[in-house]
Amino acid sequence: MISVESGKEYKTMVLGLDRIKKFLSDIGVDYNKIKYIHIAGTNGKGSAAKTISEILINSGYKTGLYTSPHLIKINERIQINSFPVTDNQLKSLDKKYSNISKKYKLTYFEYITALAFIYFVKNKVDIAVLETGLGGRLDATNIVTPLVSVITSIDFDHTEILGNTLKKIAFEKAGIIKKDVPVVCGNIKKEALAVIKKVAKEKNSKIFVYNKDFKAEHISYNWNKIAQEIRYCGLNKNLVTGFSLLGDSQVYNLATALAVCEILKKDLPEIKFSTVKKVCKNIKWPARFDYRKYKTDGKKCSFVIDGAHNIQAIDNFIALYKKSPFYKKGTKLVFAVMQEKDVKAVIKKLSKVFDNVSLLKVENSRAADTNVLKKEFSKYIDKKEIYTYDTVKQFFENIRNNDVYICLGSFYLAGTILKFIEETND
């Protein structure tokens, strides 16, 4: 099975489109025969991609979905009609193309992206929803001309690659905008939006903007069902629906996804808005305020698992968490983070909310050292309330009955916790 040491995917990333284009061309894969939706954004692109793909599936379209990173298995990244590529299918693709790909010096991400294109073409999907890996302009997914381009949000992340200002980051994300292809923008700050509008104008791309052309509002939460009710006021459609993903950020993501589907109706007339309520109510997208009950060896506790790993996502999580019933239960933080993130700022924010922290070592060469994190947390929290664990098993051996644990900081941590819960939960 395809594998790479966690962390190397990011470290070996070389942005550019020439290698993957040449590879796919030389092996005779005509990826342009498929229709696409292409989604970039600092946060929210995975949630929007999943929502759009589920609406398309429930409208009768054979739909590919390509997202990253994966939580537990790499198969999660490549799906058709919500079913991940199987181990045997992935092994077969890898066996056929692994040696050939080395000639083109594809990076790990480029190779997986190429396999996704091959898999979608081979299986004759009607449409594929693609999430960028990093940025947009030079991301390996940016070889397509989609029916709609989507930018969900712009904030600070991967600044060492994308730039250290919102304008620079917005320029990279706006690189997915293609000539005469409409673009839908989520809840984006004015400074970044101005850059996107400029690029859209240059490309003669009609732009649809959240809070101007479409909008949505949160109505209420149902904490027993872990759901919220949302009112959507769209380009032509208005509706009220339940949604199984929580928080204001998910209100924006849902509105963006629905606006995309309204625009798609011209090219995909079978899109059924009558399915939206059913789809939104039942969407499962792990590690997004993901509530899990855990029971083993007579102990019972709860986890809320979220992949929030940058300032915007952490702020969004904290705002939602403070509205939740878990906030009142003296919850404990489980934390890991990649070292290139704004670690000090993230820890300072979290220390205002949590006073008990478990720092977990995750198997990723980019992960910040737990002792370094402990030193930073100890500026704000009593050292006696900061614990470090070398393995996930060691952490779970020390959980306490009836406690609630909030897991934040990294999708790699989220995947580690989810995998252990799924394997050992009674």
323-330 contacts at long range (C-beta below 8 A, 24 or more positions apart) = 323/221, 324/221, 324/223, 325/223, 326/302, 326/404, 326/406, 329/404, 330/356, 330/404
Q: Are 44 and 152 in contact (CB under 8 A)?
A: yes
Task: Identify the CA nearest to 156 among candidates 345, 354, 351.
Answer: 345
pLDDT digits (tens, 9 = 90+) for 368-383: 999 999 999 999 999 9
Q: In what helix (H) or strand (E) does residue 296 lie, and over which residues does it extend?
A: strand 290-296
pLDDT digits (tens, 9 = 90+) for 126-147: 999 999 998 899 999 999 999 9
The SS3 assignment for 369 reads: coil
Q: Are 331 and 406 in contact (CB under 8 A)?
A: yes
- pLDDT of amino acid 1: 59
| pLDDT at position 13 over 70 | no
Confidence of residue 426 (pLDDT cuts 50, 70, 90): confident
- pLDDT of amino acid 7: 53
How far is residue 26's CA from residue 163's CA, in Å, rounded to a whole number?
33
- pLDDT of amino acid 6: 52
- pLDDT of amino acid 2: 72
Give the pLDDT mean for 253-281.
Answer: 96
The token pair at 264 is 């798609």
Give the pLDDT mean for 190-209.
Answer: 98
- Cα dist from 135 to 11, 101, 105, 358, whole Å: 15, 23, 21, 32
- Order of strands across the sheet that contains 215-222: 215-222, 227-233, 238-243
Give the pLDDT mean for 411-418.
Answer: 96
The token pair at 252 is 């924006």
The token pair at 401 is 């009955």
- pLDDT of amino acid 190: 96
Give the pLDDT mean for 413-417.
Answer: 97
Give the pLDDT mean for 173-179.
Answer: 97
CA 423 remoteness from chain centre: 23
| Pick from 53-67, 90-104, 275-289, 321-335: least confident | 321-335
This prediction's pTM: 0.95
- pLDDT of amino acid 299: 87
| pLDDT at position 32 over 90 | yes
Task: Identify the CA nearest to 45 among candidates 188, 195, 143, 160.
Answer: 188
